[in-house]
Amino acid sequence: MADRAGYRTGFIGLGIMGSRMAANLRRAGFDVSVWNRTTEKAESWAREHGGEVAASPAAVAEASDAVITMVVDGGQVESVLLGDDGVADGARDGLLCVDMSTIGPGEAQRIGAALAERGMRFMDAPVTGSSPKAEDGTLTIMAGGEREDFERARPLFEAMGELVVHAGPLGHGQMVKVINNTVAVINTAVAAEALLVGKQAGLDLDALVTVLRGGSGGSAMLDLKAEPMRSHDYTTLFKLEHMLKDIRLCREAAQAVSEGRGEAAQAVGKGREAGDAPLMEFLEPVERILADADERGLGEADFAALLEVLEQRAGTRL
Ligand code: NAP
């Protein structure tokens, strides 16, 4: 299996992330067959990188030892794996499916159980790091599932990522991921607020950002988003509508854990006692900011565009 040339990999979903991740599999020497909902994107990817374009997800499975999915949400993962002409229709017994989209722990467990009934293996392996890290193969990958499946997938992960972590059983990769993104977007919102209050106080924003970045107020999101926010450049590295999806997945999973119910709770362990304080109290105001931005038509912009909502509320612009 670890012989890359003989390791036939299927890749479904060639968007911002998937196109770059699949390219790194090719660069590492894997045989790759691809399928994308919009066929022209698959054809153009194959012209550039040299893989095969399959006619359907089922045809990808027929040509593969492992199939990776990188689409948007749980409904899409379910449809490409288990829908008509989906991966399950072309899979041999024991085919390993690895979903790298962000779909939340409950969906990962549900889809994993359905695949297991059809004789297939499943791991959730979401990623963090936007398109630049997908491009240069330095993503962080957090995988949930059986250790044996993790070892089967490891050569693929190592071609796409730099930090590869086996987080635990199925669903734990997703839980780690949605917590991570929630922390990231809360940090982004607070960085935007810092810039706005600094502007209103008449501060030199270069001085403010330099001190924050060098000190205890720094964060990866401040490093990545402060300059785009200051220039209102929302070139999409990570769509705002996807960040809204992720923070909602985190809220749902946190609520399930808090109430000790559902598959998400089982994915992350035993429930909490009734009457405990709610989990992740900072999540909801930031979810509302993202929802406002989405309603204003900014869903396809980078999530740094949440600044627009805060600027409107503050009655000032950076
Ligand atoms: P994207 O650019 O919007 O790509 C989405 C992919 O899903 C495209 O290949 C798209 O096909 C496909 N797709 C959409 N609807 C579909 C459907 N109904 N059936 C089948 N395929 C469908 O998104 P992305 O930024 O690559 O993100 C992919 C996943 O990674 C998401 O779960 C996201 O939350 C997560 N993620 C993103 C980032 C980031 O920085 N961008 C970082 C970490 C994780 P078409 O080409 O036909 O539209």
Give the model confidence (pLDDT) of 82-98 as tens digits: 999 999 999 999 999 99
Tens of pLDDT, residue by residue over 192-215, are 999 999 999 999 999 999 999 999
**How many residues are listed for the chain in this entry?**
318
Q: Is 41 a catalytic residue?
A: no
CA of 198 to the centre of ligand 1 (A): 36
Mean pLDDT of the 61-73 span: 97
Binding-site residues, ligand 1, Cβ < 6 A: 13-18, 36-38, 41, 70-72, 76, 79-80, 101-102, 127-128, 130-131, 237-239, 242, 246
CA of 16 to the centre of ligand 1 (A): 7
pLDDT value of position 257:
85
H/E stretch holding 127 reads strand 127-128
Query: What single string gives the DSSP state of each residue in 256-296?
Result: HHHHT-HHHHHHH-SPPPTTPPPS-TTHHHHHHHHHHHIII
Which residue is closest in CA terms to ligand 1's atom 11?
A: 37
Q: What share of the chain is helix, strand, coil (3-state, %, to 5)?
A: 60, 15, 30
% of the chain at pLDDT higher than 90: 89
Residue carrying the six token digits 């924050």:
212
pTM value > 0.95: no
